[in-house]
Structure 1
Amino acid sequence: MDPLDLKIIRTMGFRPYGSRPQEPGRFRPSYIAHQLGVEPETVKARLARMEEAGFIRFYQVYPNFRHLGLEGSAYLFRVPDEDRKAEAIRRVEPVDGLVEIHNFLGPEMCVDLSYHSPHDLSRKLRLLSDFTGDPSPDRFYDRRMPEVTRILTPLDWRILKSLRYRARRPLAEVADDVGVSRKTVRRRYDRMAREGSFFVVPAVDPGKAAGILLYELLFYTTPQADESTVSRILHALEERCIYHYAPASRALGNFDALLYAESAGEIEEMRQRGRAIPEVTKVVPLVFHGWTEYTDWLDAAIDERVRVG
């Protein structure tokens, strides 16, 4: 993989949530090519190569969790012993509503989960603390999604199910799959997109990113830091940054960036580059060891909505 591959991924988007509706057109090679100043055929060839290598496993649709009565958050746990950490991950995997586990080199592991209520979240956090031995995890980020103003119909859910693991398939195929006209599917799809009822993202396997390492940098800043500080950080990281956000807990910094490196030494180089920016007091790297999704429960929830509406 090279910088152009990662720019393509960055343009498509990496996270299946957001406070505003997503523009589905951003997945078209013509759109990506226009944004990056390259030819559409170049984008098609790069996507095909990443798919063949297994870095892009498929393109998936995530429904807006609010349609399922759910919220989502991620917490960073620390398990200092590697063997105990592997056992903790095995114990966490069956937890209902688990979305992702990000396993970092070292003691850290991030558990991304969904929940119906604050009480449900508290129950799950107690369970996770028992499994990991960490009684005080830090809230890493929240899966913010648009408010929903209507209930999706069974046909809407059938369309989302048809697109679930083939998000870029032609809508004519979806129409054949669900048994309605292409015009009807297009109308429903466009309406759900405008409402923010779903998000499309590539499902990636960081372990198949040949020649690169994925990692995060957590930036801690002074109280005097402002938007110009963030701008300077982003400018310094531009060539390697995939996305950025503000962590939910200040214990994990005031600013976080997902980046890639071509060597382990480059991670330290970028950490020092960020640390040299005025108003930055500390920069902590987290290097990905594994990144796994757990969404069988989500497929079952979609099936239930298809059945009963």
Structure 2
Amino acid sequence: MDSLDIRILRELWQGREGFPLEPDVRKSYRSMARRLKIDNVTFRNRLSRFYRSGYWKGTQLGVNPSLLGMKANMFWLLDVQLPLEKDALIRELSLVQGVMVIIDYYGPSLAVGTLLDGKISIEKQSELLAKLSGAREVLWVDLPFPKCKMELTPTDWRIVKAIRANPRQSYPVISKEVGVSVKTVKRRLQKMNEAGALFVMPLQNLKALEGAIVADLVVLYSNAEAKTDVDNRIISQFEEFLTLATMGAPKYSFFAFVIGKIWQAKEMLSWVKRQPGVVRAFMGLVQDRIESYETFTRLLEKKLREESIYA
């Protein structure tokens, strides 16, 4: 994987400012190629290679958690004591209510992404995950999805239903399923994009990634001023490796990198720890990413029933 591949990955799933993931679910490949200053054919050829390798499995539609009465969180379980074999622990964690993704890092660490009822205490969830895993330290953060700026209409929810498995479904197919004109479909999708109602969830098979290592960096700061400064310096210093930066939380930031050598991760982490205002920094080398979107699907089905989409 070269520098252009990394830039393409960042373009595919990095959200615009204020969003942890890309909210424009219909973002065209042509516009991405233009931003990267490459031709459309080169962009599509690189993406096709991702698919052929088995690494890139496409995307799934996500709905702003606030529209479902939920909140998204990320937990990093550090120095896990492994009361079970790690694979068995991962299976047990996957059964915990609300778990959507588990990231298996090399060594005794894991990350768990959840979608929880807004009334559930994140501290309680942190305690539960720590108890199950035997983690000596748990870092957690609310994923910074901004509140959606609109109420979705029944037509909007029908469009969501039509594209949930394939956000790039053709407009005529969506139009036929929803029972409105192509023009209306385009207009409603554009409005939902502008309001931050939807986002793209990338589907990856990291075991198929050859010649590269995915490294996640979590940084805890002492204050907002230091956070802004160091976030910008991290991006500037390591942009050639960066695929995702989520910086909207008050004291935490998360960065995903693709590197070629383990020593690069060590040097990056050492550099980050030396920055003023950094209280804690953790870097995990990703072995696997286990995605389970049944929770999201169940919540979406419930919402569609409430909106009488399944009449």
Bin the TM-score by the shorter chain. 0.7 to 0.9
Q: Distance in 1 between matches of 2:12 and 2:306?
A: 33
Unaligned runs of 5+ in 1: none
Q: Which amino acid aligns with 2:6?
A: L
Q: Is the 8 A contact 1:58 1:165 kept in 2?
A: no
Q: Which residue in 1 is equivalent to 2:93?
A: 92
Report percent identity of matched pairs. 24
Q: Which residue in 2 is equivalent to 1:215?
A: 215
Unaligned runs of 5+ in 2: none
Q: Which amino acid aligns with 2:114?
A: L
Deviates more, 1:299-308 or 1:218-227: 218-227
Seen in structure 2, the aligned counterparts of structure 1 residues 121 and 43 have a Cα distance that, compared at 3 Å, is: same
Q: Distance in 2 between matches of 1:249 and 1:137?
A: 17
1:236 aligned onto 2:237:
yes
Q: Distance in 1 between matches of 2:269 and 2:98?
A: 34
Q: Which residue in 2 is equivalent to 1:109?
A: 110
Aligned pairs for 1:19-98 (under 5 A) are: 19=19, 24=24, 27-78=27-78, 79-81=80-82, 83-98=84-99
Q: Which residue in 2 is equivalent to 1:300?
A: 298
Seen in structure 2, the aligned counterparts of structure 1 residues 113 and 220 have a Cα distance that, compared at 3 Å, is: closer
Q: Distance in 2 between matches of 1:264 and 1:134?
A: 24
Please state how far the C-alpha of 1:269 moved relative to its aligned partner.
Answer: 3.8
Q: Which residue in 2 is equivalent to 1:146?
A: 146
1:134 aligned onto 2:171:
no
Q: Is the 8 A contact 2:58 2:202 kept in 1?
A: yes
Seen in structure 2, the aligned counterparts of structure 1 residues 83 and 126 have a Cα distance that, compared at 3 Å, is: closer
Deviates more, 1:33-42 or 1:239-248: 239-248
Q: Which amino acid aligns with 2:75?
A: Y
Aligned pairs for 1:125-204 (under 5 A) are: 125-134=126-135, 137-139=138-140, 141-204=141-204
Q: Is the 8 A contact 2:25 2:199 kept in 1?
A: no
| 1:227-278, Cα deviation, whole Å (9 max, x unpaired) | 444433322212112223449596xxx6542111112233234344555667
- Count of aligned residue pairs for this structure pair: 305
Q: Is the 8 A contact 2:12 2:22 kept in 1?
A: no
SS at match of 1:27: coil
Please state how far the C-alpha of 1:23 moved relative to its aligned partner.
Answer: 5.7
Q: Which residue in 2 is equivalent to 1:260?
A: 258
SS at match of 2:155: helix
Q: Is the 8 A contact 1:17 1:64 kept in 2?
A: no
Q: Distance in 1 between matches of 2:101 and 2:17?
A: 13
Q: Distance in 1 between matches of 2:294 and 2:16?
A: 16
Seen in structure 2, the aligned counterparts of structure 1 residues 16 and 102 have a Cα distance that, compared at 3 Å, is: farther
Q: Is the 8 A contact 1:17 1:144 kept in 2?
A: no
Seen in structure 2, the aligned counterparts of structure 1 residues 226 and 66 have a Cα distance that, compared at 3 Å, is: closer
Q: Which amino acid aligns with 1:244?
A: A
Per the normalisation by structure 2, the TM-score is 0.84
| 1:119-158, Cα deviation, whole Å (9 max, x unpaired) | 454554443233212375221x322223235442333222
Per the normalisation by structure 1, the TM-score is 0.84
SS at match of 1:81: coil
Q: Which residue in 1 is equivalent to 2:3?
A: 3
SS at match of 2:240: coil
Seen in structure 2, the aligned counterparts of structure 1 residues 151 and 182 have a Cα distance that, compared at 3 Å, is: same
Q: Distance in 2 between matches of 1:43 and 1:229?
A: 31
Q: Distance in 1 between matches of 2:254 and 2:21?
A: 22
Q: Is the 8 A contact 1:211 1:262 kept in 2?
A: yes
Deviates more, 1:296-305 or 1:274-283: 274-283
Seen in structure 2, the aligned counterparts of structure 1 residues 217 and 21 have a Cα distance that, compared at 3 Å, is: closer
| 1:35-57, Cα deviation, whole Å (9 max, x unpaired) | 11111110011111111212211
Please state how far the C-alpha of 1:91 moved relative to its aligned partner.
Answer: 1.2
